[in-house]
Amino acid sequence: MNEEYIDNVKHLIEQKDADKVKELLVDLHPADIAELCDDLNPEEARFVYRLLNNETAADVLVEMDEDVRKEFLEMIPSETIAKRFVDYMDTDDAVDLMRDLDEDKQEEILSHIEDIEQAGDIVDLLKYDENTAGGLMGTEMVVVNENWSMPECLKEMRQQAEELDEIYYVYVIDDDERLRGIFPLKKMITSPSVSKVKHVMQKDPISVHVDTSIDEVAQTIEKYDLVAIPVVDSIGRLIGQITVDDVMDEVREQSERDYQLASGLSQDVETDDNVLRQTTARLPWLLIGMIGGIGNSMILGNFDATFAAHPEMALYIPLIGGTGGNVGTQSSAIIVQGLANSSLDAKNTFKQVTKEAVVALINATIISLLVYTYNFIRFGATATVTYSVSISLFAVVMFASIFGTLVPMTLEKLKIDPAIATGPFIAITNDIIGMMLYMGITVLLS
């Protein structure tokens, strides 16, 4: 999908040469066509979509960038969206598409869906929080009853499979639709004479509740190496399944959001977003950083006499600020990662702070001794800078490490995204506190 290829497609679209464009698309995977459409304007993308069969068009729409897809859908009548796309989508993909639209548009699309059962499933799924298992699951799956005989089971499986693109697991339920097990396909081949499904099923399969967070779902799938996981309601009834590809998409999006948050972006942005959106995403933390810088200058302005007596102290301002910011970011990054993968519990705050304090003590000692040796050689044993910089660095490293540990764990307890603690917040705070410690210690030793 290089620039030359895209330019060629645009040229053919401009010439209205549908046959040649279709030839270029025929061997492409839906994900590749979606990538192509992301580089086209909405009108050009619309031209491409008219050349695709319904199933391919639906698959391409699922793979498109969310912002591009939303802009594209706003140009298309609700009836076309329903009959050309939604009718050919799994329910989880249809729900993802519908969430991008306003409520009026959603209702219009639902009114044009001919399959009442599918429309009902979409309505039910839209009620769930998109960050929970219920908001991510699909209802397409193969389900058998534990009391069915093997011939009855095979007949029903064939009928259900005709409506599905992929079969990950065959789920076993009881007469009350509660999940009882998973029917291993190997048993179907090796034990075709078994009287009932419940005699060969794998009992008590791993499942998640409908309100389980996506993070927990991803961790469960990763821990047990699953390709799909069943979703149950409060009384254990099977209501859907989540596949690994959907989870990975969510994990990737969450990672992107956390990375941007840690980088000082207040909202999710893309490289092709307009200038206004990119500016509003960056400006808040830049303003906070500016206020932090002004605060630093005010702190330093109160120590004119100290700088006049020891001008060499100014040389170490970047060292103190930079070290504090780096140490704090390191500590908070480790904590945020531990909270994200559940290897660390916010309840163990005291234990983690103690561990971090020991690590900080070692690092602070080594750093301060190295700087003391350097200043001892350069300024001599009697110079104030020789002692004040080393002691200040020691204090700054200790504070930044403990602060960088406490903040994300506290944010986690308050149900605030702890990723914010790996960004400018930690760096600015450590910079200001570091300057206060540096100047205070210098005054005491002068």
CATH number reported for the structural domain that contains residue 206 in this entry: 3.10.580.10
Q: How confident is the model at residue 217 (pLDDT cuts 50, 70, 90)?
A: very high
Closest by Cα among 413, 391, 400, 320 to 359: 400
Q: Does residue 129 fall inside a structural domain?
A: no
Confidence of residue 163 (pLDDT cuts 50, 70, 90): confident
Nearest Cα to 57, choosing from 27, 92, 23, 33?
33
Mean confidence (pLDDT) of the chain: 86
pLDDT the model gives residue 396: 92
pLDDT at 82 over 80: yes
Same domain flag for 237 and 170: yes
Q: Are residues 238 and 315 in the same domain?
A: no
Q: Residues 314-323: what's their mean pLDDT?
A: 88
- Between CA 415 and CA 353 the distance in angstroms is 20
CB atoms within 10 A of CB 433: 18
60 and 157 belong to one structural domain: no
Percent of the chain with pLDDT over 70: 95
Q: Would the pLDDT of 162 be above 90?
A: no
Q: Say what the pTM is.
A: 0.70
Least trusted range by pLDDT, from 16-20, 152-156, 284-288: 284-288
pLDDT value of residue 358: 93
Q: Are residues 330 and 389 in the same domain?
A: yes
CATH number of the domain residue 4 falls in: 1.25.60.10
Q: Is residue 257 part of a domain?
A: no
Q: Are residues 37 and 168 in the same domain?
A: no
- Measured CA to CA, the distance from residue 407 to residue 346 in angstroms comes to 11
**Looking at the structure, do residues 405 and 279 belong to the same domain, yes or no?**
yes
Residue 247 lies in a domain: no
264: in domain: no
Query: What pLDDT, on the 0 to 100 scale, is given for residue 373?
Result: 93
Residue 283 has pLDDT above 90, yes or no: no
Q: In angstroms, how far is CA 232 from the centroid of its own chain?
A: 24
Q: Which residues, including other chains, have CB under 8 Å from residue 282's CB and lie 6 or more apart?
A: 264, 265, 266
Tokens of 356: 């971090």
Span 284-294, average pLDDT: 81
Task: Name the burial class of residue 172, with classes exposed (0-12), middle (13-18) and buried (19+) by CB atoms within 10 angstroms of its CB.
Answer: buried
Backbone angles phi, psi at 263, to 5 degrees: -90, 0
In single-letter form, the type of residue at position 272 comes to D
Residue 436 and residue 358 in one domain: yes
- Domain limits for position 175: 140-242
Looking at the fold, whether 324 and 218 belong to one and the same domain comes out as: no
What is the arithmetic mean of pLDDT over 297-326? 86
Same domain, 147 and 11: no
Q: Determine, yes or no, domain membership for 259.
A: no
At residue 179, does pLDDT exceed 90? yes
Considering just the CA atoms, what is the radius of gyration of the chain in Å? 30
For residue 1, name the pLDDT band (cuts at 50, 70, 90): low
**Domains identified in the chain, total number:** 3
pLDDT tens, position by position, 124-145: 999 999 889 999 999 989 999 9
pLDDT digits over 10-40, tens only? 999 999 888 898 988 888 899 999 988 888 8
Query: Within a domain: residue 7?
Result: yes
Burial (Cβ within 10 Å: 0-12, 13-18, ≥19) of residue 257: middle
Kindly indicate the confidence band of residue 314, based on its pLDDT and cuts at 50, 70 and 90: confident
Give me the torsion for CA of 111, 117, 122, 128, rounded to 10°.
Answer: 130
CATH number at residue 369: 1.10.357.20
Q: What is the pLDDT of residues 366-423, one digit of tens each?
A: 999 999 999 999 888 878 888 999 999 999 999 999 998 888 888 888 877 777 766 7
Of 90, 124, 158, the domain-final residue: 124
Instruction: Report helix, strand or coil for 224.
Output: helix
Are 208 and 314 part of one and the same domain?
no
Q: How many CB atoms lie within 10 A of CB 193?
A: 7
Pick the last residue of a domain from 66, 97, 124.
124
Domain membership of residue 282 (yes or no) is yes
Give ∠ CA 86-169-124 in degrees, rounded to 5: 40
Same domain, 188 and 292: no
* Percent of the chain's residues with pLDDT above 90: 23
pLDDT at 421: 63
Each residue's pLDDT tens digit, 240-261: 999 998 888 887 877 777 777 6
CA distance 25 to 3: 16
Rounded Cα distance, 135 and 125, in Å: 6
249 occurs within a structural domain: no
